[in-house]
Amino acid sequence: MTLSRMTRLPALSSLEGEDRDRAISHLARLALVGVWLIFLLEPLAAAWSARSGVRGQLGLAATVLFALLYMWHFERSRAFDASTDGLVGQRVTSRRWPRYAVLVALTVAVTLLIGQPGTATWVFLAVSGLWTMPMPYALAIGLALAGGYETLVRVLDGWNRHTGVSLSIVMAMLAVSAARLAMRRTADLSAARRENARLAVEEERHRLARDIHDILGHSLTVITVKAELAGRLLDVDAERARAEIASVEALAREALADVRGAVVGVREISLAGELASARQALTAAGITPRLPTAVDAVDPGLKELFAWTVRESVTNVVRHSGASTCRIDLEPKRIVVRDDGRGAHGGAQGSGLRGLRERARLVGASVTTSSAGENGFEVVVAGK
């Protein structure tokens, strides 16, 4: 960015959203730095009073150039831009050093041409070091400038020892360093909020994926089993076949409602309802259900997790196990689902159980599975 570009900022009225906020922040940073240029009035006044001579004219030009370069250096270096590499060990680009070197040269020139009033530029030189180099180096240069000033006022005739330039250097560097630290913490907080928002969106996507998988996996499995049963009954028991087809229709409508509920995040699932659905699905698949008849003893904080456990486990039993019996045991903080089928063969360890483990992790529960070869498969979910 050149000096001319600094004067061609877009009109705020033409910007919207983040661009407008960025432009306002940009102007605020320039104003924050530019307001302190008022302290260059002393060297300007001293140069102006001596404008009849060459030294005064050169001192006036050098002071103006120093002020302009100081603002340009700040603008290009983005001193308060929290996206830089940090307060300590900040990245130093090759273009910052030449600008800072010119500032040093102008500081020396102003001091030699004007005298002690020109040392006001030392404060700006020390502060600009904070966005030119890593902070430890900048602080060292600032202390060196303060020490150098205190030395000069003691060895040069006519220099006033009570102007407070060294104190101004120290206070200005402390103020700017504190401001940068506050800006950095604010930026870190904003970044943390953005990350939390991203994680919330990601978690919602995972929740939706789990719910859709579990809803459709269970519902379509039961619908498939009932449709096959209805097909077999068409020639032997038309009334029962019609009843199974009606049940398939009801299940399809229920699945559609469940999917809609999952999408808007208001789907409710009950343990008692899932046990009733499990009994129906197991019976339709020709598997003998041995299920509890009451859920009152279950910890209320675990009922939803246990309901998902019943749904996912029974879906796997119907789809994969080839079992003849399925048993569910309920305890206040524990549920066990076991069958006497072919064990973990056929994908029982698929994405359904992964989703169940994620649900359990969210409430501090654990999921364990075991397979006894041809003697069945067992899922145990236990809360704390």
User: Which sequence spans correspond to the domains of the chain?
Assistant: 3-163, 288-384
Express each pLDDT in 161-174 by its tens digit: 776 888 888 888 88
pLDDT at 381 over 90: yes
> Can you tell me the distance from the alpha carbon of 40 to that of 383, in angstroms, rounded to the nearest whole number?
70
Q: How confident is the model at residue 80 (pLDDT cuts 50, 70, 90)?
A: very low
Q: How confident is the model at residue 16 (pLDDT cuts 50, 70, 90)?
A: low
Give the CATH number of domain 288-384; options: 3.40.718.10, 3.40.1210.10, 3.30.565.10, 1.10.110.30: 3.30.565.10
For residue 132, give the 3-state DSSP assignment. coil
For tokens 């100081």, name the residue.
Answer: 70
Other C-beta atoms closer than 10 Å to the C-beta of 195 total: 10
What percent of the chain shows pLDDT beyond 70? 80
pLDDT recorded at residue 112: 93
Average pLDDT of the chain?
80
Q: How confident is the model at residue 260 (pLDDT cuts 50, 70, 90)?
A: low
Mean pLDDT of 49-71: 92
**What confidence score (pLDDT) does residue 9 get?**
45
CA 210 to chain CA centroid, nearest Å: 23
Mean pLDDT of 312-328: 88
Most confident of 193-207, 212-226, 271-285: 271-285
More confident residue, 45 or 34: 45
pTM value is: 0.47
Q: What is the pLDDT of residue 62?
A: 94
Residue bearing tokens 């046990």:
275
Phi and psi (nearest 5°) for 95?
-80, -15
The pLDDT value given to residue 380? 93
Instruction: Assess whether pLDDT exceeds 80 at residue 28.
Output: no
Cα distances (Å, whole numbers) of residue 288 to 125, 151, 207, 278: 86, 98, 32, 11
For residues 133-142, average pLDDT = 87
What whole-number distance in Å separates Cα of residue 120 and Cα of residue 110?
9
Which is more confidently placed, 154 or 10? 154
Q: Where are the beta strands (DSSP E) in the chain?
A: 288-290, 325-331, 334-339, 366-371, 377-382
Asked if 292 and 274 count as a contact pair (C-beta separation under 8 A), the reply is no
Per mean pLDDT, which range of 32-41, 256-265, 274-283 is the poorest?
A: 256-265
Beta bridge partners of 369: 379
Instruction: Decide: residue 107, CB within 10 A, 0-12 exposed, 13-18 middle, 19+ buried.
Output: buried
Burial class (CB in 10 A: 0-12, 13-18, 19+), 152: middle
Q: Using 50, 70 and 90 to split pLDDT, how confident is the model at 48?
A: very high
Q: Using the 8-state DSSP alphabet, how is residue 159 labeled?
A: -
**Mean pLDDT calculated for residue range 297-314:** 89
Strand order across the 334-339 sheet: 288-290, 325-331, 334-339, 377-382, 366-371
pLDDT at 365: 93
HSE (CB half, 13 Å, CA atoms) of 198?
6
pLDDT of residue 240: 82
Write out the H or E segment, with its range, that includes residue 346. Answer: none
Q: Are 267 and 299 in contact (CB under 8 A)?
A: no
Residues 6 or more apart in contact with residue 349 via CB below 8 angstroms:
369
DSSP secondary structure of 285-330: TT-EEE--S--TTS-GGGHHHHHHHHHHHHHHIIIII--SEEEEEE
Query: Is the sign of the CA dihedral 72, 74, 78, 81 positive or negative?
Result: negative
**Cβ neighbours of residue 142 under 8 Å, at least 6 residues apart?**
126, 127, 129, 169, 170, 173
The pLDDT score that the predictor gives to residue 39 is 86
Reported as a pLDDT band with limits 50, 70 and 90, residue 291 is: very high
Q: For the ranges 62-76, 96-110, 367-381, which has the lowest average pLDDT?
A: 367-381
What pLDDT does 13 receive? 52
